[in-house]
Amino acid sequence: MRSHRFRKPLVVTGSVLCAGLVLSACGASDDKKDTAGSKGGGTVTITTAQGEMDVPVKPARVAALDNTSFATLKAFGVKPVAVPKALLPTEGFEDWQNDASIKDVGTHREPRFEELNAAEPDLIIGGYRFTDHHDKLSKIAKTVDVAPSDEAADGYVASLKTQTETLGKVFGQEADAKEIVGALDQAEKDAAGATRGESVFLAVASAGKVDNGASRIGRLAEPLNLKNVLSAEGEDSTSVHNDSGLAPETVAELNPDWVIMLDRDAAVGTEDGSEAIAAKKIVDGMEAWDKTTFRQQDQVIYLDDDFYLSEGIQAYTDAFDQVATAFDAAG
């Protein structure tokens, strides 16, 4: 591989209820926090999901809530003051996970607004899983949503590039942002050139079963020369949490040339806390698939275990590299 380098909804607790009191006590206004603690001084105008916004350049205290931004912020040398630690990838972020000075703000399902407020951020990078909390976050500090989106004009993958370039402006890391975007461009080009109209089943493994994952990783196939055997029609990106009832025999009848697999449990564990079954073990154990093309020719690509949690530009760069390498090797 050319590498470039939720759990079930939780019961609302008293800590969440007291968040309203915390928010009402956040005396500092957005205007006051715009410049407080800024290392670089001045502001820059960026485009966000809420329109154009002026934000501090090189803010000193950054709360990073959008998991798609984590790897880019780390590449820029940014140490956040607060993150949702349950959403950190298992590898590469041990320093953030174990650093007591970095506040744990919970998850999008049960955010700890009081912890976020205590971190005193100058800027909050919200959006993606935290989109629904934008208004509450904005009462704590200037909050920007520059997350990638399926609704972006040129699609999710293109919006990853825009996100990276925007963060580069905010943190004065335009050169590094350009390099990161260039790596994705090259990987995407290589993967597109290696694929020639083959059929593919975009799958997600969870709870010992394999289901249609087109709603979550269909983004990966969009710029490639591949034909999905199952569309995402009627699904949304949260369908990976559910059992759609897709029978192994259905996949066998469709007989795709390739399978690209996201292993959700490898990233976040099982819903009931039981030991996760590896995606490869599930695939290898499907007797109904014994005569399929992808099984007989060993044409299954397993995305990185942390893909479900990362989903940022580096994750897609590595995934495109995997596709290019696997398809080139298959001839």
Q: Please name which of 182, 227, 224 lies closest in space to residue 201, comparing C-alpha atoms.
A: 227
Tell me 106's DSSP state.
B
Residue span(s) of the chain under CATH 3.40.50.1980 come to: 14-172, 196-330
What's the whole-number mean pLDDT along residues 203-215? Answer: 91
What's the whole-number mean pLDDT along residues 24-33? Answer: 40
What's the whole-number mean pLDDT along residues 72-98? Answer: 96
The rounded distance, in Å, linking the Cα atoms of 203 and 206 is: 10
196-330 falls under which CATH superfamily?
Answer: Nitrogenase molybdenum iron protein domain (3.40.50.1980)
Residue type, 239: S
Please tell me the predicted confidence (pLDDT) of residue 271: 66
As a whole number, the mean pLDDT across the chain is 86
Count other C-beta atoms under 10 Å from residue 3's C-beta. Answer: 13
CATH number attached to the domain at 14-172: 3.40.50.1980
Residue 9 has pLDDT above 60, yes or no: no
Please tell me the predicted confidence (pLDDT) of residue 12: 37
Please tell me the predicted confidence (pLDDT) of residue 2: 45
More confident site: 19 or 69? 69
Per-residue pLDDT tens over the stretch 152-175: 989 999 999 999 999 999 999 999
More confident site: 10 or 97? 97
What's the whole-number mean pLDDT along residues 1-12? Answer: 38
Report the predicted TM-score, pTM, of the whole model to 2 decimal places.
0.83
Task: List b or e across 255-277, with b for residues whose CB sees 16 or more CB atoms inside 10 angstroms.
Answer: ebbbbbbbbbbbbbeeeeeeebb
Instruction: Identify the bridge partners of residue 63 per DSSP, sorted by sequence position.
Output: 82, 124
Q: Is 92 helix (H, G, I), strand (E, B) or coil?
A: coil
Comparing 178-182, 229-233, 307-311, the range with the smallest average pLDDT is 229-233
User: Sign of the C-alpha dihedral, residues 274, 69, 23, 61?
Assistant: positive
Per-residue pLDDT tens over the stretch 249-276: 999 999 999 999 999 887 766 566 677 7
The rounded distance, in Å, linking the Cα atoms of 189 and 210 is: 29
